[in-house]
C-alpha cells in the first residue's frame, strides 16, 4: 500500500503494451521521428487528437482551454526539444499557426480541481487538424509531434495528469 498526497493506493496490475491497456506503450524518439528520416509514399494531412483529460494552455498569464493548432503543436515542440536527442526547428510553431487549421471538433469544457483547490478549466474530446499546404517535411514534423502526445501529454499541467492526449490513427 502506498500513499499519494494523503490518499492510499496500491498497484493491482501493470501494462506495458497497447494490447494490454490502451494507455500503455513505449517508443523511442527514433521510432517517433521515423517519418522524418524515411521517405514514405504518403503522409497524413489530417491529425485527429483525442484529449482524455482536460487540456489547457498558459497564454499571456491566462488559461486558454481551447486546443488551437499553434498551442497544441507548440506545446509538443517544447516537450520534444526539451528531451529528444535531436531538436526540431522552432519554425514548426509558425507552421502550426499559419498552415494548420481545425477541421472539426467534439469538445466540452471540464473543471478539474488542482492540488491547491483551485479549479482548472480545460477541454476534453476530439479535435481534427488539417494541413493547408502539402509540404512533406512539415507534415512529417506534425505527425512526429502528434505521436509524441501519447507519451508527453499536451499543454499546462501535464505532469499533474492534465492534457492526456493521443493521436487517433486513420483506419
With 70 as the cut, is the pLDDT of residue 168 above it?
Answer: yes
pLDDT in tens, 20-54: 777 777 888 888 887 776 766 678 999 999 999 99
Quote the cell numbers at residue 38.
524515411
Residue 11 CA: distances (Å) to CA of 24, 35, 89 = 15, 36, 40
pTM above 0.75, yes or no: yes
For residue 119, with 0-12 CB atoms within 10 Å meaning exposed, 13-18 middle and 19 or more buried, which class applies?
A: exposed
How do residues 79-98 score in pLDDT, each as one tens digit?
A: 999 999 999 999 999 999 99
**Fold of the domain built from segment(s) 28-168:** Alpha-Beta Plaits (3.30.70)
Query: Does the pLDDT value for residue 154 go beyond 70?
Result: yes
Q: What is the mean pLDDT of residues 150-158?
A: 94
User: Is pLDDT at 128 greater than 70 in this prediction?
Assistant: yes
Amino acid at each position: 500500500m502506498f500513499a499519494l498526497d494523503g490518499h492510499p493506493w496500491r498497484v493491482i496490475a501493470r501494462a506495458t503494451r497497447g494490447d494490454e491497456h490502451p494507455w500503455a506503450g513505449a517508443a523511442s524518439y527514433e521510432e517517433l521521428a521515423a517519418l522524418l528520416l524515411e521517405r514514405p509514399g504518403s503522409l497524413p494531412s489530417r491529425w485527429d487528437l483525442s484529449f482524455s483529460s482536460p487540456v489547457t494552455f498558459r497564454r499571456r498569464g491566462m488559461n486558454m482551454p481551447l486546443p488551437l493548432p499553434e498551442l497544441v503543436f507548440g506545446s509538443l515542440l517544447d516537450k520534444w526539444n526539451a528531451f529528444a536527442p535531436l531538436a526540431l526547428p522552432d519554425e514548426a510553431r509558425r507552421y502550426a499557426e499559419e498552415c494548420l487549421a481545425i477541421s472539426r471538433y467534439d469538445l466540452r469544457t471540464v473543471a478539474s480541481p488542482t492540488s491547491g483547490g483551485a479549479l482548472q478549466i480545460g477541454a476534453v474530446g476530439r479535435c481534427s487538424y488539417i494541413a493547408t499546404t502539402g509540404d512533406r517535411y512539415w507534415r512529417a514534423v506534425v505527425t512526429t509531434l502528434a505521436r509524441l502526445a501519447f507519451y508527453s501529454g499536451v499543454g499546462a499541467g501535464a505532469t499533474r495528469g492534465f492534457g492526456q492526449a493521443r493521436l487517433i490513427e486513420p483506419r
